[in-house]
Structures are given as structure tokens and as C-alpha cells.
């Protein structure tokens, strides 16, 4: 397997390149974009299976849980080669590959680790039931209620913005078990099977034409107490580990993919003699945004070092990275729409984000400044925790 070369990084990198060239079928991107939702699901499972054959599904996990203990440098090499070769992103498995080990390894019971972790590299999809219509940026205000009934919790409430919940087998769910305690002190963390009676999933049609998110409606859903992660009313602490797991290499992967996308876009413009290259203002804006993207990549590398224990400001750097990256995406998309002019106004719903498309990117970019902590929340974190400014 390719992962067996992880201690020889040049050989590891070359093996990745050779494998990607041999394994990815020509035109896979167009086929996925033009296919149905079911086709996309099957392609994602196929790609997960191919990665698993080479030990690349969960290489960053500790060896005792089925991973290879791949070093941070090795993870960066892997992400870089995937981006360079425009390989598919395992979008449907983001929660499975990052949030679940980041939660269960430090907080799960031995039984939970044994039950849930081994099935993930085999293609099990997880989703996240955190946000609610009245509890998004202020997650601790959640109202989804769980009442203890013997060896079960009976859950009633609603969740929203649950990525790929229509495909998921399991869900990590935050519920309120104490309405009298301080907000953070009354939350419990549960694992819910998605085929549990009383659960309804409704896909949410987005502006960009996709239905990435689902809305969950829970009516007297019974979840075994043994599915609780951590202690009752102590779920907020567990949640912080879950949310922290998406920082670091995941940000690196996104940034590297966009870097190669921008470079390909510019190279094709030069080859085709694109008209926008004759416009001084558009050319100046493009190069400015590309330079800012390169600066963002440097900041993400700093975040990786801090998360790896070589710095003490990971939380603050993460806020800077999130703020910079999501607002930059909007500005790049805005420029693309102006470059494409009328020729780019046709809307395409695409699943391969290694290709820049002005209107799709424009319609998709604005949600990023809301999800995972709004721009306003990032400003507050930087101002209050970083600069020591007073609240209000």
C-alpha cells in the first residue's frame, strides 16, 4: 500500500502521483456533475474504497484505531498531491473522517470506539445535529430537548444545516437535558442512528442548486443512554473537541485546491488569449487576490504548526484563517462573475470544486461567512480574546 511509504516522503509523494494518474478515470468530473444525486453518492463511496485500499482513507488516525499515524508533514503532502491532481474531495465523509475521531478518541467509551470507528474507512457516512433555527452562531442556546426515560433519552426538537444528513447512517446530536442550568452546563452529547423511529430528514434546496444540507425533525425519538458521549450535562466540553477537529489540515486542503484552481484558470486564460487579460483593472484585481490567497496559505501553515504543538495561538489563528478565507472566497467569486460577463451567467450546479465557475462560486461563497462561525463572531473573537478589547 502507498501508506507503507509514509516514512520516505519523496517516495510517498511519487507513489501518490502515480496512483492518482492510474486510478482516476478521464472525465470523472463531468460525469459526476452531470449525474444524479445517487450517482454522486456512489462515486464518493467508490473513491473512499479506492483510498482505503491504499491505506489513505484514515491515515491521520492513530494506529490503534485503524489509522497509520501519518505525520503532519505526511498529511500535508497527501493533501497537496490530491489538490495538484484535482482528485475528488471526500465531501460526504468530512464529519466521518474528522469530527468523529476528534470526538470519540478522547471522549468515547471503549465500546463506542470499537463500534463506530472501524466502519468509517469502509464508507459509513455521519452527519452533525448541532445548529437549530434559533441556535446557530449562539450554539449554546439550543432547545432540542432530551428527557431520561429508563435506559433511553426521549428527544424532541429540530436541527438545521445538517450536511449530507439524507445519506448518513449516524448523527452526532446535541440536546438540552437541563433547562435550569447555565446554557453551556445543560447540554448532552448523543449518537443517534438515522433510522431511529420518529426522525424525519428534509433536504434543503440551496441557492446554488444543490441540497447539501438537511433539516432534522425529532418527535419522541428514543436514543439509548449508552449512546451518550461524555457525562450528562457535560456535552459542551465534548463539543469543543468536535469543532476543533475541523481546523488544520482540512483548511489546508481547501486552500491548496483553490490555489491550483486559480493557477489553472490563469494558465488557460493565457493559452486562450482571454479578453479580460487586456483589462488593466481586472488583471490587477486578479493578481491582488492571488497574492492574498498565497498569504492565507502561509497563515494556514502557521495554524498547522500551532495545532501540532509548536505554538500557543491556535484558536486565534483559526479565527483569522476563517475570516480571511471566507471573505476572500466572496471577492474571488465576485471577480470571476465580472470576468465571465454574460458568458458566465448560465448557472451550473457543480460538485467538482477544483474548477472555477463564476456564477456557481458567487452563489456558494456567501454561505461560508455564516457557517462554522459567522464573520461577526470571528471579529468578536479577535477583538475580545486577541486584542483584549471590552465587550459591547
| Secondary structure letter of residue 284 according to DSSP | H
Q: How far apart are CA 360 and CA 329, in angstroms?
A: 12
Q: How far apart are CA 104 and CA 83, in angstroms?
A: 28
How far the first Cα of the chain sits from its last, in Å, is: 55
Cell 482513507 appears where? 57
Q: How far apart are CA 82 and CA 20, in angstroms?
A: 8
C-beta separation of 48 from 90 below 8 A: yes
List the catalytic residues: 246
Q: What is the CB neighbour count within 10 angstroms for residue 82?
A: 22
Q: How far apart are CA 40 and CA 35, in angstroms?
A: 7
C-beta separation of 161 from 134 below 8 A: no
Q: What is the CB neighbour count within 10 angstroms for residue 314?
A: 21
Q: How far apart are CA 122 and CA 136, in angstroms?
A: 31
Q: How far apart are CA 171 and CA 100, in angstroms?
A: 10
| Phi and psi at residue 147, to the nearest 5° | -115, 135
Q: How far apart are CA 297 and CA 191, in angstroms?
A: 35
Which of helix, strand or coil describes residue 149? strand
Please classify residue 149 by burial: count the beta carbons closer than 10 Å to its beta carbon, then call 0-12 exposed, 13-18 middle and 19+ buried: exposed
C-beta separation of 90 from 47 below 8 A: yes
Count CA atoms closer than 13 A to 360's CA, side-chain side: 14
| Phi and psi at residue 188, to the nearest 5° | -125, 145
Q: Which three cell numbers stand for residue 40?
A: 454522486
Amino acid at each position: 500500500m502507498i501508506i507503507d511509504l509514509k516514512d520516505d516522503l519523496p517516495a510517498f509523494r511519487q507513489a501518490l502521483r502515480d496512483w492518482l494518474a492510474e486510478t482516476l478515470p478521464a472525465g470523472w468530473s463531468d460525469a459526476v456533475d452531470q449525474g444524479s444525486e445517487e450517482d454522486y453518492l456512489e462515486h464518493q463511496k467508490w473513491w473512499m474504497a479506492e483510498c482505503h485500499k491504499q491505506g489513505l482513507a484514515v491515515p491521520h488516525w492513530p494506529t490503534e484505531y485503524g489509522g497509520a499515524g501519518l505525520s503532519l508533514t505526511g498529511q500535508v503532502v497527501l493533501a497537496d498531491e490530491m489538490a495538484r491532481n484535482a482528485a475528488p474531495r471526500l465531501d460526504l465523509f468530512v464529519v466521518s473522517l474528522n469530527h468523529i475521531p476528534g470526538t470519540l478518541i478522547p471522549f468515547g467509551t471503549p465500546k463506542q470506539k470499537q463500534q463506530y470507528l472501524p466502519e468509517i474507512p469502509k464508507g459509513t457516512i455521519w452527519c452533525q445535529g448541532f445548529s437549530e433555527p434559533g441556535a446557530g452562531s449562539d450554539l449554546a442556546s439550543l432547545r432540542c430537548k432530551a428527557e431520561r426515560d429508563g435506559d433511553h433519552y426521549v428527544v424532541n426538537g429540530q436541527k438545521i444545516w445538517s450536511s449530507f444528513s439524507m445519506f448518513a447512517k449516524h448523527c452526532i446530536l446535541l440536546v438540552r437535558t437541563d433547562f435550569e442550568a447555565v446554557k453551556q452546563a445543560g447540554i448532552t452529547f448523543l449518537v443517534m442512528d438515522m433510522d431511529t423511529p420518529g426522525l424525519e430528514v428534509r433536504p434543503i434546496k440551496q441557492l446554488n442548486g444543490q441540497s447539501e444540507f438537511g433539516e432534522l425533525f425529532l418527535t419522541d425519538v428514543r436514543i439509548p443512554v449508552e449512546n451518550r458521549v461524555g457525562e450528562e450535562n457535560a456535552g459542551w466540553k465534548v463539543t469543543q473537541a468536535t469543532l476543533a477537529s475541523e481546523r488544520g489540515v482540512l483548511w489546508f486542503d481547501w486552500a491548496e485546491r483553490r490555489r491550483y484552481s486559480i493557477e489553472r484558470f490563469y494558465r488557460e486564460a493565457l493559452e486562450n488569449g482571454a479578453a479580460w487579460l487586456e483589462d488593466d483593472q481586472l488583471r490587477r484585481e486578479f493578481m491582488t487576490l492571488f497574492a492574498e490567497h498565497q498569504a492565507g496559505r502561509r497563515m494556514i501553515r502557521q495554524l498547522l504548526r500551532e495545532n501540532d504543538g509548536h505554538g500557543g495561538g491556535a484558536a486565534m489563528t483559526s479565527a483569522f484563517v476563517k475570516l480571511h478565507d471566507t471573505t476572500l472566497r466572496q471577492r474571488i467569486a465576485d471577480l470571476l462573475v465580472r470576468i465571465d460577463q454574460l458568458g458566465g451567467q448560465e448557472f451550473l450546479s457543480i460538485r467538482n470544486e477544483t474548477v472555477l465557475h463564476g456564477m456557481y462560486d458567487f452563489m456558494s461563497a456567501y454561505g461560508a461567512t455564516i457557517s462554522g462561525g459567522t464573520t461577526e463572531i470571528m471579529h468578536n473573537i479577535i477583538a475580545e480574546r486577541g486584542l483584549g478589547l471590552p465587550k459591547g
